[in-house]
Structure 1
Amino acid sequence: MPDPIREHLLLQSRRAFLNQGAVGLGTAALASLAGTPSAAGSPATSLTHIAPKAKRAIYLFMAGAPSQQDLFDYKPKLRERFRADLRNEKYEDGSPVLRTRVTTMTSGQSAFPIAPSKYKFRQHGQAGAWVSELLPYTASMADEIAIVRSLWTEAINHDPAITYITSGDQLPGKPSLGAWLSYGLGAENQDLPAFMVMTPTWTGRQEAQALYNRLWGSGYLPSTHQGVSLRSSGDPVLFLSNPQGVAPADRRRMLDGLAELNRRHHEAAGHADTLDRVAQYEMAFRMQTSVPELTSIADEPESVTSLYGPEVHTPGTFAASCLLARRMAERGVRFVQIFHRGWDQHLEIPKDLPNQCRDVDQPAWALVQDLKQRGLLHDTLVIWGGEFGRTSYCQGTLSDTEYGRDHHPGCFTMWMAGGGVKPGTVYGQTCDYGCNIVDASGQPTTRFEDGAVHIRDMNATILHQLGIDHKQLTFKFRGLDQRLTGVEEAHVIRGVVG
């Protein structure tokens, strides 16, 4: 009787045959590099190209775009020009202030009235960083963080902008930053994924933009590198518990039998994703023990939980997520990303922004302090920021107390801490209107040499701190050596990191 698998292989095209051969060679090569069986869940040899300053990273992503003029980028001139139409404002050389795209949400307005922040600012730390009264905890650690005020992007709408900053491309389908780090550095802990994600609750604008799991997906990288998302209720990970009536020993026997069948299929058909599937099953089995231990904070002393504030005991809050991020860091999770939604404040900043800041200010501060007191901050990189900035003109009705802001890709602010970051640094500057990045002479610029930081530069810097040269971290796909930062030039922000 003919072997059906062999008959199937004989009918494959030349291209499919060559592709399968390449997959087999690649799998063998990966196994030899790792010094372990070629299951994708096994620890990989680190592909570091330079001495790393950090072993892991925690990315606090403010989805929806925080208003930089109300938080970090103090612009007193906006008060002088209150209600003036920004479209008529010009620099001293006569060039227009408004020079970036506007969205269809405000392009039809009869005027673009300048809207100053209603919040008080003070200078903090040795560098005199301006921080709003809405972020008192963040302000108190001004000497421990580096504030970058001169980021920019081409994307002007949320989905392409978040996709761009998390995957290096505005179009979906590329691997996320966390997946690239998992692929390049492997896992430190065999019992937990290298990349974990949380999407906590929020108290700002409730009509928040959707988050898609492709933002932490693996794209064309092996699926073992995609982020694993934790849930705030029920099983922390879907299907983590065994079905009723299935004992752990029975599940172990089932997985062993399934793994044997999959290995036979791989030997016969050469499909790389077969080994990925085996590895994912094995990781899921190990996570049945490791994840419940990770997510239980019963062993945390009150002296620690009090740092994060009272919401730390409410599962699914930003405070609870930050504490879990610290627990992940000390257990060897390579990359943790927390997506906090509700920052898309088009119409009611005075109502929504204070709530958002209360959600994140103390927990983000506590995370940095907690890492520091445990000796983890020096080799843990913490990043805080969103996908773009917000306009200096008002969207909708402007009054003395009410205003909103539209999307603005021309400039925005992020901060970093730990992991080789130069503490107490304020990098980059924007014009008096808070509309454009400017060089030392005050001229608008998008040149890196003049202090402008593209989101590619930020991603290159994150990789660099973890020991990776962004030009050398590549993956062959569709005949090209793909990389996170794409084919355009990207730079490490030397003024911010060591």
Structure 2
Amino acid sequence: MSHHHDDDIFKLHTPDFDQLNKKLDRRTFLTKTTLGLGALAMGSLLGKELFGSTPKAAAGAGGLEADILKALPHFAPKAKRVVYLFMSGGPSQFETFDYKPGLEKLMGQNLPASVRQGQRLTGMSANQSALPIAPSIFKFNQHGETRTWVSELLPHTAAVVDDLCIVKSLYSEAINHDPAITFFQTGNQLPGRPSIGSWVSYGLGSDNNNLPTFIVLVSKNGQKDQPLYARLWGNGFLPSKHQGVQFRAGKDPVLYLNDPDGYDGKDRKEMLEYLTKLNQLQNSAYGDPEVEARISQYEMAYRMQTAVPEVMDMKDEPDEIFEMYGPDSRDPGTYAANCILARKLLEKDVKFVQLYHQGWDQHGNLPTAITTQCKATDQATAALIKDLKRRGLLEDTLVVWGGEFGRTVYSQGKLTATDYGRDHHPRCFTMWMAGAGVKAGLSYGETDDFSYNIVKDPVHVHDFQATLLYLMGIDHERLTYKFQGRRFRLTDVEGKIVKGILS
């Protein structure tokens, strides 16, 4: 490649460059517009922003957008970073944290109409002639100084229960997986909105210029009973640089990041500099904000070529770390290995790390299936809490654990003394948080004797989202983005901070 002066590239005379520099001449304009002079007349009615708009106007990033970002954070953040452990499929509260001993004497009885209150069922249960109550077959014991009830399926989590803030009164409107997960991740049941990590990235930016602000890890050892879509960590209508970047186990942790075989990469920086100039030329002509986003992404990718191999390398982790996180932690891509990787990313000041572990959708054979799930996740989850705590990171890191909804008290399908299944239940379910800004050793909210309805301190999905943003120093009502003529936010038009869990 020949070397030009920095400005020479703007003087190159090729048909493409000439056309780009001219933007649209009269002939091209009249050819390309389907309405010809009618389009020009429409332009005069709609104003100068339709044609010949300035880059700033075209970017949709007017003064108000800049003012919104300039004001952040709105108050002193409690949490500098978040690790969100998403248990995809809907973990049963009955087999984990919401102890209901009174159900044992009601086994097999039909769920009372006074409890159900006419609430809708999924299509999988609606045709059942009866809704037989299914007590959990697993034992619960009290743990820690707080004497918190935890299932025998979670012995390692039980050992750190005094560090947890367990919220038993979450609720959602969504009763099926895709809309429910989309609702949790984006604030709306319909696809297309930015994910929660993207909102954090947009609002607060990065504390590490060599790694993405928002990183996603998906367990390879989770049951793939329900699909996950990349749009769950997508940027929606926000600039694309705020999308979550998935890290994978294996040769290519980030797709398309490594150089092709046979290319030594020596002139990569020079190539990127020329590509940036081309993009800047296009940006000056058309004012498309995505051009600037792509420039920053190319630059990030170049820096990541060094940063990613370093953070993915586990050879410096001592044996005691692998022993603490469990035997799976030596196998890259498992939930346990991803928990170690999450800790390493948090140490690098990555702001939002999200782990997805599938397989919690247990409509039948629940006792066996949930035992497998807990065995795959329990030790590593507790180890992450202990690891962050001893490194001094837990005090300014928020850890979140939970799924998209809970499970029904009644059995879907057959019920025996040792086997049953549970359907989706959005009316009440359990999540927990730990670390920065939340009260340790707290159980918040209560459900009725059937864990079917909330009787104290309900927490809506939007309330959870508003509280997470608050802990990051963000007022959820003030972090907005204008799209298609409307200002959007993560919590839509709802959400209140759950003050009762704040430390």
Give me the TM-score of the superposition, normalised by structure 1: 0.90
Q: Which of 283, 286, 300 is the matching residue for 1:269?
A: 286
Matching residue of 2:400: 383
- Hey, what's the Cα distance between the residues in 2 that align with 1:468 and 1:9? 46
* Corresponding residue SS for 1:112: coil
Question: Of 212, 217, 230, which residue of structure 1 is paired with 2:229?
Answer: 212
In structure 2, what is the Cα distance between the partners aligned to 1:411 and 1:227? 29
Q: Does 1:114 align with 2:133?
A: yes
**Equivalent residue runs for 1:118-157 within 5 Å:** 118-157=137-176
Q: 1: CA distance between counterparts of 2:84 and 2:23?
A: 49
In 2, Cα distance between the equivalents of 1:330 and 1:106? Answer: 46
1:381 Cα deviation after fit: 0.2
- 1:369: which partner in 2? 386
The one-letter amino acid of 1:214's match is R
Q: Pick closer, same or farther for the CA change 1:19–1:149 going to 2, 3 Å.
A: farther
Deviation sequence 1:367-415 (CA, Å, 0-9, x none)? 1111111111000000000000000000111100000000000000000
Unaligned runs of 5+ in 1: 35-43, 440-450
**Which structure 2 segments of 5+ residues have no match?**
1-14, 30-39
Q: How far apart, in 1, do the equivalents of 2:23 and 2:293 lie?
A: 25
Q: Distance in 2 between matches of 1:464 and 1:307?
A: 32
Indicate yes or no: 2:283 matched with 1:249.
no
CA distance in 2, matches of 1:341, 1:400: 27
Distance (Å, rounded) in 1 between the aligned partners of 2:430 and 2:128: 26
Partner of 1:410: 427
1:4 aligns with 2:10: no
The CA deviation at 1:24 is 6.0
Q: CA separation of 1:124/1:98 partners in 2, compared to 1, >3 Å: closer, same or farther?
A: farther
In structure 2, what is the Cα distance between the partners aligned to 1:115 and 1:292?
Answer: 49
Q: Whole-Å Cα distance in 1 between the matches of residues 65 and 481 of structure 2?
A: 17
The answer to whether residue 33 in structure 2 is matched with residue 17 in structure 1 is: no
Measure, in 2, the Cα distance between the counterparts of 1:376 and 1:107: 47
- Paired with 1:54 and 1:414, the residues of 2 have a C-alpha distance of 18
The counterpart of 2:330, out of the listed 283, 295, 313, is 313
- Aligned to 1:211, the other structure's residue is in SS state coil
Q: Specify which of 408, 411, 428 is matched with residue 394 of structure 1.
A: 411
* 1:170 maps onto 2:189 in alignment: yes
- Inter-partner Cα distance in structure 2 for 1:85 and 1:191: 57
2:37 corresponds to: none
Q: Using the TM superposition, give the Cα deviation of residue 51 of structure 1 relative to its aligned residue in structure 2, in angstroms.
A: 1.0
Is the aligned partner of 1:300 residue 2:306? no
For residues 80-101 of structure 1, what are the alpha-carbon distances to aligned partners after superposition, in whole Å with 9 as ceiling and x for unaligned? 1100111xx15xxxx3435432
Percent identity among equivalent residues? 51
1:62 is aligned to: 87
Q: Which TM-score applies when normalising by structure 2?
A: 0.89
1:328 aligns with 2:345: yes
Give yes or no for the alignment of 1:222 onto 2:239: yes
Task: Give the deviation of 1:480 after TM superposition.
Answer: 1.4
Q: Measure, in 1, the Cα distance between the counterparts of 2:66 and 2:362.
A: 51
User: Residues of 2 paired with 1:20 and 1:293: CA distance?
Assistant: 42
Deviates more, 1:121-130 or 1:287-296: 121-130
**Alignment pair present for 1:460 and 2:466:** yes
Q: Deviations over 1:295-353 (max 9, x none)?
A: 11111112222210111110110000000000000101000000100000000111110
2:369 maps to a residue whose letter is D
Cα 1:167–1:107 change in 2 (3 A) is same
Cα RMSD (Å): 2.2
